[in-house]
Amino acid sequence: MLSLPPISTPTRQLLTLITRSIETLEASCQSSGTTIPNLHSAFTPPSQAFRSNPGAAEAARIIAAAALQLEAIVSPLQVSLYHIIGGHFKSAALCVCLESGVTEILREARPQGIHVRDIGAKNGQDPEKLARFMRFLATHHIYREVSPNVFANTRISSMFDTLKPSAEILADPEHKHDGTFGLAALASHHLDETCKASAATVRSGDPTAAPFARPIGRPETIWTYYARPDERFRQQRFGIGMGGVRALQPPDAILKAYDWSRLELAAGSLVVDVGEGVGTSCFLLADNFPELKFVVQDLEGVIRQGKELWSTKVPAVISSERVILQMHDFFTPQPQNGAAVFLLKQITHNWSDDIVPFACHDPDAEEGLQEAPALLLANYGATNDMAYNTDLIVRVFFFLIVTSAHGCIFVELLARTGWEFVTVRRQPGDSTFSQCIEAKKTEDSL
């Protein structure tokens, strides 16, 4: 009997898109000698190497977006709703595990896993309650239930590993994040301050006030809160967590943000890193461009932390004064004159005007803005969650934020302050963070 060709339904169209994209991804990995990561293997930055090929990164992005859209079509509606409604339960479950060293205990137990009663014996958690939390997370591939009540890490849960002995971090939680690459600190920050601020967004009151001001009982933003002497732990955790953002981006992201080699023509060119924290971006820049000089600027507590970090990792760079860490509030006049480049990394979104793309296809989108294939949400759906998370994080920590999907907001902002927009340096494969905007001083503002 002659079979008829399948009817082209949305589900089959999505399946075709996934299949073709998987073929593209596999071919790219084969030619580049990279592999698609194993969900049950520990996360390491090199495991992201397959994304260095723009074609592979785009294929992976399409696969994820199409799979999520397919899930939205075929899943029971109540299941889809509770992915969102129950989000606070996932946060609570992860917070319990994160703060009680579960990931470290599982790493020490090796891939075969460890029974929840033995985890409880190490971290003091009630085994029955802990099993419920971990099973809920395992349902979303954060941890893995190897056999009844026996759990192991997955690629996702291993991202929270401080790589320290579990006994050490449980005995001294205040210094748990010191010397780590920061992903656990970043998660801990979001599960603490960010959760508290988010819970306050629905309360009535001054609509221009930062929701974060409500749970702390003062009309403050996160920065004034961190400046309190009794919040030094949270301030340091935040600084370490911002360093962890690097592990979530392509390793060469900062190198592609600008044509730094242009500055090498003038030895001693100065790069001023404004308000970025302890200056982790400059680590890579200083290593790759030895002729450049750097000034890293931030508030007093952050700079103190930065000096400790730089003095430990690269003391020669500090002693030679090729990198200077300087206390500076960027709302006051800039003390550095004659800089070749001012680097503002992940700070402009903390104030007024943030930029996120529309979820629909926009015929008036700025030139060069990449949209997903027409079958998918234009912004690649939940695979682009990080941009929207950042948007809402800023909204709950600070005062009223004006959000726009149009890149012209930054062009106008630059023009008002004496800068001329040059270009957007988009980085293929990095769909989780904002892209780079290059601008130069206008002639009449020099």
Residues with a catalytic annotation lie at 349
Q: Terminus-to-terminus CA distance in the chain, angstroms?
A: 79
Strand partners, 441: 419
Cα separation, 195 vs 192, in Å, equals 6
Complete DSSP assignment for 46-97: GGGGGGGSHHHHHHHHHHHHHHHHHHHHHS-HHHHHHHHHTHHHHHHHHHHH
What are 118's two structure tokens?
């033995």
**The two three-digit tokens of residue 82, written as one number:** 């509770």
User: Residue 274: how many CA atoms within 13 Å on its side-chain side?
Assistant: 15
Q: Are 24 and 55 in contact (CB under 8 A)?
A: yes
Taking the C-alpha atoms of residue 174 and residue 233, their distance in angstroms, rounded to an integer, is 7
Alpha-carbon gap, residue 420 to 131, rounded angstroms: 56
Tokens of 102: 């579960």
Determine the 3-state secondary structure of 146 from DSSP.
Answer: strand
Question: What is the C-alpha separation between 217 and 334, in angstroms, rounded?
Answer: 33
263 DSSP assignment: G
Supply 160's token pair.
């929270």
